[in-house]
């Protein structure tokens, strides 16, 4: 980047398990609300921002211009452009990186990156036969022809199908892929439950201590993430049955996996000059970002772990910057599942994996676990797919600002065998 890029603000909604607090809200309502909260918090009402980049992983066709519609409802000046993007769970971290590089190159002075997802308001698909009948009825030239088209409807045509979050090339869900990863890396059930338990305790403590107070807006009445379980225990987690491999070898459960979640999050970025002119704080600087992908379907070689691409992204960031994996004060690693994080950490400690997969001369090494997801991870806080990256950046920026300096690493694995990573510094 030709100039430094500032993280100047971040806001999110409290995350809610699907079909609970936000059951009646849709993506546009939540995204508009979080943008409006960020605009109010940063005193940007009526201002023109360089661009808004936002998206959702699962959305209705009516949301074809989601980012622009939300920006128009946010209080920003209507001259603020906006565009949709989507990289599954990496959507909002990709948005942050995109805007950062555009600011760093001098194309724009400021930008808002955001993501939203509702698993309470998912589009239901109709079968192809019913689709044809409805289209024939719409195109009918006469009442008789329209009635004739509707007369072809049978009860079987009326059964809707919710979207299935599976990999088209493998037919497996993300959880099923992660179960395979856990077996490959010999990640035990007890290790997964322990990480999940620690995440709940860290998130509960962060809420109690007020860490999230200025990061969370509450326009819909919910005042904190409602998946955080301060009363859980290792004993309670151990009683939950496996959900992706129901046999004796299954290890992934509802307790050590992210829940289906509704929510939204947003991050404000700007050049140093723009931030100073608007009297905004410098929370942190985004200095580098990288995206990578793996061959999870085995198209040109053996199948790789679906959720392992961010190991590649981090290795390439370290090569570019000359940093070591241990040169960070905080690690915000998205927990799609506890097993996914544990596989990632084990891979970085493996000489064989780092040499053969990542092209490194040796293992990247271990990290200090006390620096990992110190305010809770996605298993505890929740995971509205497209919003998680912005949540992680906001959390990390505040951690660095409170510390008064340092460096943090944020990574997100995504569907499709991709991963996104970024470095924040202060």
The SS3 of residue 126 is: coil
Asked if residues 68 and 82 have their Cβ atoms less than 8 Å apart, the reply is: yes
- CA–CA separation, 408 and 402 (whole Å): 13
Q: Please count the CA atoms within 13 angstroms of the CA of 200 that sit on its side-chain side.
A: 22
Phi and psi dihedrals of 118, rounded to 5? Answer: -120, 120
Name the active-site residue from 42, 343, 354, 413.
413
- CA–CA separation, 333 and 372 (whole Å): 7
Torsion of the alpha carbons at 177, 183, 189 and 190, rounded to the nearest 10: -130
Asked if residues 251 and 189 have their Cβ atoms less than 8 Å apart, the reply is: yes
Q: Which DSSP helix (H) or strand (E) runs through 265?
A: strand 261-271
Name the active-site residue from 288, 310, 334, 383.
383
Cα-Cα-Cα-Cα dihedral sign, residues 284, 225, 52, 101:
positive
3-state secondary structure 350-387: CHHHHHHCCCCCCCCCCCCHHHECCCCCHHHHCECHHH
The SS3 of residue 178 is: helix
Q: Helices 338-348 & 309-321, crossing angle to 10 degrees?
A: 40
Catalytic residue at 42?
A: no
Place of tokens 């100047």: 8
Q: What is the CA radius of gyration of the chain?
A: 22
- CA–CA separation, 200 and 192 (whole Å): 13
Name the active-site residue from 42, 89, 178, 354.
89
Catalytic residue at 79?
A: no
Catalytic residue at 413?
A: yes
Who contacts 390 (Cβ-Cβ below 8 Å, separation ≥6)? Answer: 10, 12, 92, 93, 95, 96, 113, 114, 115, 265, 266, 267
Q: Which residues are catalytic?
A: 89, 383, 413
């Amino acid at each position: 980047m030709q100039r430094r890029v500032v993280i100047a603000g971040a806001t999110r909604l409290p995350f809610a398990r699907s079909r609970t607090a936000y059951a009646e809200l849709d993506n546009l309502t939540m995204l508009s609300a979080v943008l409006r909260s960020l605009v109010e918090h940063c005193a940007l009402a009526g201002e023109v921002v360089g661009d808004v980049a936002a998206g959702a992983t699962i959305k209705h066709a009516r949301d074809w211009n989601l980012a622009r519609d939300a920006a128009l409802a946010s209080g920003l000046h209507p001259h603020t452009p906006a565009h949709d993007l989507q990289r599954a769970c990496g959507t909002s971290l990709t948005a942050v990186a995109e805007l950062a590089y555009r600011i760093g190159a001098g194309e724009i002075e400021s930008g808002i990156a955001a993501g939203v997802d509702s698993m309470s308001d998912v589009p239901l698909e109709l079968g192809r036969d019913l689709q044809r009948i409805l289209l024939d009825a719409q195109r009918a030239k006469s009442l008789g022809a329209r009635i004739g088209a509707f007369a072809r409807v049978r009860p079987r045509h009326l059964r809707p199908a919710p979207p299935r979050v599976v990999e088209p090339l493998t037919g497996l869900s993300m959880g099923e892929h992660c179960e395979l990863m856990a077996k490959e890396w010999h990640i035990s059930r007890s290790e997964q439950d322990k990480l999940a338990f620690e995440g709940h305790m860290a998130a509960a403590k962060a809420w109690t201590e007020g860490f999230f107070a200025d990061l969370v807006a509450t326009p819909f009445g919910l005042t904190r993430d409602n998946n955080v379980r301060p009363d859980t225990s290792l004993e309670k987690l151990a009683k939950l049955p496996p959900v992706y491999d129901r046999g004796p070898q299954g290890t992934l459960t509802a307790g050590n996996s992210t829940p289906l979640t509704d929510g939204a999050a947003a991050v404000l970025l700007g050049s140093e000059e723009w931030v100073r002119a608007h009297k905004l704080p410098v929370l942190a600087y985004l200095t580098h970002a990288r995206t990578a992908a793996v061959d999870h379907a085995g198209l040109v070689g053996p199948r790789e772990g679906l959720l392992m691409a961010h190991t590649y992204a981090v290795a390439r960031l370290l090569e570019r910057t000359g940093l070591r994996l241990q040169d960070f004060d905080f690690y915000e690693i998205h927990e799609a599942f506890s097993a996914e994080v544990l596989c990632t950490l084990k891979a970085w400690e493996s000489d064989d994996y780092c040499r053969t997969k990542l092209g490194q001369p040796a293992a990247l090494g271990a990290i200090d676990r006390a620096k990992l997801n110190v305010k809770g991870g996605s298993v505890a806080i929740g995971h509205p797919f497209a919003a998680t990256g912005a949540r992680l950046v906001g959390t990390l920026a505040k951690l660095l600002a409170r510390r008064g300096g340092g460096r943090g690493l944020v990574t997100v694995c995504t569907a499709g065998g991709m991963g996104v990573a970024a470095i924040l510094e202060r």
